[in-house]
Amino acid sequence: MAMTSTDPLDGTAVKADFPLLARQVHGKPIVYLDSAATSQKPSVVLEAMDRYYETINANVHRGVYAIAEEATNALEATRGKVRRFVNARSDAEIVFTKNATESLNLVVQSWGRANLAEGDVVVLSHMEHHANIVPWHILREQIGIELRWIPLDGHGRLDLTDLDRLLDGAKALGVTAMSNVLGTFTPVRRLTDAAHAAGAVAVIDACQSVPHAATDVQEMGADLLAFSAHKMCGPTGIGVLYGREELLDAMPPFLGGGEMIRDVTVDGFTPNDLPWKFEAGTPPIAEAIGLGAAVDYLGSLGMDKVRAHERALTEYALTSLGERFGDDLRIHGPQNAEERGGVMSFAFRDLHPHDISQVLDQHAVCVRAGHHCAKPLMKILGVGATARASFYVYNDTSDVDALGDALDAAGEFFAF
């Protein structure tokens, strides 16, 4: 079966850039369909990190000697790359964190504690990942903020009927740009406009969207935005918090220590300028360089092509698997490839996700089973867990076909 949309990327060719994808599992070529959990890494990223350690490894921002300067330049050059990648206005608006979860915790504990008081309202959605829920719950327990929730519409989209009423009097809106369970792209600009009209700050969880589509924080209207390197071909251990400079400037430090200070005495301290105010301790330098290489790699593919590739592959999956399995396969979320990315949670007959993924593993097909750190969403879907397949630049139609074959095997194994 051919793809109906044009696919500008050759997933098979891209696969060759990723060393892990050459390996076998249980004697079969690996079919990796869990990029929503973490992405595989291209050689250029791995080589960049090795090269850093082999040639210029030194602590940053403090040394006068040559390699210390080179390491600092490499780190700050990455900051510039990330700034351009998301269209921030200055490097001061790009903070390196450990990951998106830490970025969101930073927002809640720094911006949140400085700006919110008991009874203040924060609006989230039922679609959120725990990283954009639990930090707010922690704040609720600390200072007594009130949480309101944007519901879903039964088709995997946010139900915006009551949006203005929910935002009335709210101080912040926390929402995902793309669901890690349903794949749904939320209407971010509409949400941030509504938040701003209500006088609320817009905090965007962009973990799934940044790797899979071109990101423009100006266009999105994001005040604060979080994402992780490891879902976008970069290493684990580094993430980003984007924040509008005026906001970040007014926020108190999150973690304290070296690097984030200008001066320290026995009586107190003065914080450093942006963005280093929020980067305490030695940063994950090698990882930052890896992130820079990942940004370069994705740039070389072209984010518009990355999106188009996934749209085509998702369409292929929805069509071919739909035809193959009919009602036996229920894919959650919007049923078209326009409104969603290549993240597909599904139910297959009455098999439990654990059992599905166990059989799939025997066929070297890697999917995830569980609640995907979205328990409130699971409850709304009426399930304890789902199986989830997700695509990225290195997947192609043969991967989708392999998923189908493995599902057939699962069905046979558990047939009675």
DSSP string for 347-377? EETT--HHHHHHHHHHTTEE-EEE-TT-HHH
Residue closer to another protein by CB (options 138, 383) is 383
Q: How far is the CB of 226 from another protein (least distance, A)?
A: 24
**CA atoms in the 13 A half-sphere facing the CB of 112:** 31
**Token output for 3:** 């793809």
Residue closer to another protein by CB (options 70, 361) is 361
What do you get for the CA distance between the two ends of the chain, in Å?
A: 31
Q: How many CB atoms lie within 10 A of CB 131?
A: 23
CA distance 392 to 396: 9
Total binding residues toward another protein, as defined by CB under 8 A: 19
State which of residues 155, 323, 354, 398 lies at the interface with another protein (CB under 8 A). Answer: 354
CA distance 311 to 331: 16
Q: Is 413 in the site for another protein (CB under 8 A)?
A: yes
CA distance 183 to 310: 11
Q: Is 358 in the site for another protein (CB under 8 A)?
A: yes
DSSP state of 242: E
Residue closer to another protein by CB (options 127, 385) is 385
State which of residues 370, 376, 401, 408 lies at the interface with another protein (CB under 8 A). Answer: 370
Residue closer to another protein by CB (options 81, 368) is 368
Stretch that binds another protein, among 101-109, 246-254, 356-364, 389-397 (CB under 8 A): 356-364
Q: How far is the CB of 27 from another protein (least distance, A)?
A: 8
State which of residues 56, 108, 220, 378 lies at the interface with another protein (CB under 8 A). Answer: 378
| Residues listed for the chain | 416
Distance of CA 205 to the CA centre of its chain: 7
CA distance 345 to 105: 27
Q: Is 115 in the site for another protein (CB under 8 A)?
A: no
State which of residues 369, 374, 400, 406 lies at the interface with another protein (CB under 8 A). Answer: 369
CA distance 379 to 385: 9
Residue closer to another protein by CB (options 26, 263) is 26
CA atoms 219, 339, 317, 6: torsion sign: negative
State which of residues 91, 355, 401, 408 lies at the interface with another protein (CB under 8 A). Answer: 355
CA distance 97 to 108: 14
State which of residues 374, 385, 393, 400 lies at the interface with another protein (CB under 8 A). Answer: 385
State which of residues 147, 383, 401, 411 lies at the interface with another protein (CB under 8 A). Answer: 383
Q: Is 380 in the site for another protein (CB under 8 A)?
A: no
Q: Is 94 in the site for another protein (CB under 8 A)?
A: no
Q: Is 352 in the site for another protein (CB under 8 A)?
A: yes
Question: Is 233 designated active site?
Answer: no
Q: Give the residues across from 212 on adjacent strands.
A: none
Please state, in angstroms and as integers, the Cα–Cα distance from residue 149 to each residue in 156, 159, 165, 197, following that order: 15, 10, 11, 18
User: CB of 60 within 8 A of CB of 394?
Assistant: no
State which of residues 362, 401, 408, 411 lies at the interface with another protein (CB under 8 A). Answer: 362
DSSP state of 187: -
Q: Is 359 in the site for another protein (CB under 8 A)?
A: yes
Q: How far is the CB of 356 from another protein (least distance, A)?
A: 9
Q: How far is the CB of 86 from another protein (least distance, A)?
A: 33
Q: How far is the CB of 408 from another protein (least distance, A)?
A: 14
Kindly list the catalytic residues. Answer: 373
Residues engaged in binding another protein (CB under 8 A): 26-27, 352-355, 358-359, 362, 369-371, 378, 383-385, 413-414, 416
